[in-house]
Structure 1
Amino acid sequence: MEILASEFFQRALIGGVLIGITAPLMGIFLVLRRLSMIGDTLSHVSIAGVALGFLIGVYPVAVGLVFAIIASFFIEKLRKTYKTYAELSIAIIMSGGVALASILFTMGRGFNINVNGYLFGSIFTLDNVDLITIAVVTVVVLVAIRTQLKELFLLTFDEDAAAVSGLPVRFYNVMISVLTALVISASIKIVGALLVSALLTIPAACSLIIARSFRQSVITVVIIGELAVVAGLMMAGVWNLAPGGTIVLLLIAIMLVLLLLKRGMKMGS
C-alpha cells in the first residue's frame, strides 16, 4: 500500500509500536492494584503542562511530562494521607489538572494551540523529537520492569507482605507512578489525553480474561496492545479515520470477542 511508503506513516508506526509495549505493560500493574483511573488523572495533568509549554515556547510534551511526574508524587503523598479513601487522591489531582488546563488554554487563545491534537491524538504528526522522547521512555520502562519484576510482582499482589519482607514499598509506589507518568506523557500525541487511559487499561482487561498467570498476563497485554495499535493505524490510514479513536474501539472490540469466546467455551463445557 502507498501509505506504508509515507514517511509520516512510518514514524507513526514506530511511535505506535513503542507505546504499544509500554502502555499495556504499565497498565497491568495499575489494573491489578485497582489504580486504573490514575491514567485519566495524569493525562489531564499532562495536558495542563502541554498548554504551559505552548505559552512559554518550550517543547509541550516535555513540560507535560514534568507536570505528570510532579502529579505522580502528589498522588502518592495524598494516598498516604487518606489511606482509607485512597481514591480521593486521584479525584483531587484530576480536578486540579483539568482546572489548570482550562485556565492555561484560555490564556493561550491568542496563540496557535492545537488543542484537539493533544486531546484526541495526532499520531500522524509525530516528528523526530517525539520519536526520540517515546524511545527513551520505552527503554526506561522496559529496564525498570525487567530489573524489578519480582519486587513489582510482590507489591502488586500483596503490599503488606512486601512491606513486612523489607521491600521499600514507598519507593516502588513512587516508581510505578513516575513510570506511568512517563508513558502517559509520551502517549498523548498518539492517542490523546482523553483516550490514553484506554491503552493502559483495556489490554489489561483483555489479558485478565485469557491469562492464567502473571507472566502470561504480561505477555498477553503486549500482544494485544501491539495488535490494536498496528491494526488501528492501518485502518485509520487507509480509511482516513481518527487514529486514537480507531485504536481504542479496536481494543474494545477485541475485549468483547474474548468475552464472547470465553462465555461460549463455558457453555460448551
Structure 2
Amino acid sequence: MLEMFEYDFMQRAFIAGMIIATLASISGTFVVLRRYSMISETLAHSALVGVAVGLVAGFNPLWMAVLVAIISAWLIEYLRSEFSLYSDAVLAILLSGSLAIAVIIVSLGGAFNNSLFSYLFGSILSVSIEDVYTISIFGTIALTSLLLFSKELYFIAYDEEVAKVSGIKVRLLNFLLVSVVAVIIALSIRVVGSLLIGALMVIPTISALQFKVGFLKTIIISLVIALLSVGSGMTLSFYFSLPSGATIVLCVLTIFIVSLLINRK
C-alpha cells in the first residue's frame, strides 16, 4: 500500500487532499447548519467559469477560479439580502447561469480538452507543487478566518434575527462565510472536481449530524469522515485506475449510508 507514496504526484495529491478534506468538512458544517448546502454546487459551477476564462485567455485557471468564485459568492449574498429573494432561487439562477457561461466560453475558445475535464471531475495527476503551496496558504487563511468567528457564525446559523438584535454584525459575517466557502471550493476543484466538491463539503457533515452529539463533536466527526474518505478514495483511485474525485465521493457516500444504519433508531 505504501508503494504509491514512492511517486511524487501521489505525495502531492495526498497532501492537497488532506488539506481540502479539512477545509471542506469544517466549512461544510456551517453551510449545512445554515441550510445553505446548495451554495457549494453553485460556487463550484461559478469557479468553473474562472477555469474556462483562464484556459482560454492563458491565465492561471486556479487563480481565476478563486476570483470568480468570490465574486459569485458576494453576488449571491447581495441578492439574497438586498432583494429578499429566496436563497434556493438565487442559488438555482447562479448555478445554471454559471454553467452556461462556462460552456459558451470554452466552446468559443476551443479549450474543451483534458485540462477542463480534470477540473470537472478532479485529477490527482494534475496537482502540481505550486497548487499544493497555493492550497496550503490560502486554505490556512480561510480556515483561520472561519475559526476566529466560529461562535458568531454558529449563533447566526441558530437564529439570524436574534443574532442581529444581539449586536452581531450578521451581514458582514455572512459575506465572510460565503467568501471562505468560495475560496475553499475553488482550491478544491483540482483534486475533487467542480461537479463533485459539493458532496465532500456537505455529506460528511450530514453523516456526522446523524450521531446527534453537539456542535464541536459534530465538526470533529465530520473531519474524520472527510479525511477517511479522501484517503480511501485516493488509494482506490491509484490501485484501480479510477477517477479520484468520483472515487472520493463514493467513499463518503458509503460512510454516510453506514452512519444512517448505525443511527437508524
Tell me which interval the TM-score lies in, with the shorter structure as reference length. over 0.9
Structure 1 counterpart of 2:220: 219
Per-residue deviation, 1:141: 2.2
- 1:161-176 map, 5 Å: 161-176=162-177
Per-residue deviation, 1:172: 0.5
State whether residues 55 and 111 of structure 2, in contact with CA within 8 Å, keep that contact through their aligned partners in structure 1. no
Structure 2 counterpart of 1:230: 231
Structure 2 counterpart of 1:39: 40
Structure 2 counterpart of 1:121: 122
Per-residue deviation, 1:123: 2.2
The separation in 2 between residues aligned to 1:129 and 1:254, in whole angstroms, is 32
Shift of the 57–82 alpha-carbon distance from structure 1 to 2, 3 Å rule, reads same
The separation in 2 between residues aligned to 1:112 and 1:124, in whole angstroms, is 15
Q: What TM-score do the two structures reach when normalised by structure 2?
A: 0.96
| Structure 1 unaligned residues grouped into runs of 5+ | none
The separation in 2 between residues aligned to 1:244 and 1:112, in whole angstroms, is 18
- 1:8-87 map, 5 Å: 8-83=9-84, 85-87=86-88
User: Is 1:190 equivalent to 2:194 in the alignment?
Assistant: no
Stretch of structure 1 that moved more, 59-68 or 73-82: 73-82
State whether residues 54 and 113 of structure 1, in contact with CA within 8 Å, keep that contact through their aligned partners in structure 2. no
Per-residue deviation, 1:148: 1.1
3-state DSSP of counterpart to 2:145: helix
Per-residue deviation, 1:145: 2.3
The separation in 2 between residues aligned to 1:86 and 1:41, in whole angstroms, is 11
The separation in 1 between residues aligned to 2:85 and 2:4, in whole angstroms, is 52
Structure 1 counterpart of 2:204: 203
- The C-alpha deviation readout for 1:178-227, integer Å capped at 9, x for no partner, is 00000000000111011010011000111111141011111111111001
Shift of the 194–155 alpha-carbon distance from structure 1 to 2, 3 Å rule, reads same
Question: Residue type of the partner of 1:109?
Answer: G
User: Is 1:141 equivalent to 2:142 in the alignment?
Assistant: yes
Stretch of structure 1 that moved more, 207-216 or 137-146: 137-146
- 1:142-157 map, 5 Å: 142-157=143-158
State whether residues 79 and 87 of structure 1, in contact with CA within 8 Å, keep that contact through their aligned partners in structure 2. no
Report the identity percentage.
37
Q: What TM-score do the two structures reach when normalised by structure 1?
A: 0.95
| Structure 2 unaligned residues grouped into runs of 5+ | none
State whether residues 235 and 241 of structure 1, in contact with CA within 8 Å, keep that contact through their aligned partners in structure 2. yes
The separation in 1 between residues aligned to 2:47 and 2:58, in whole angstroms, is 16
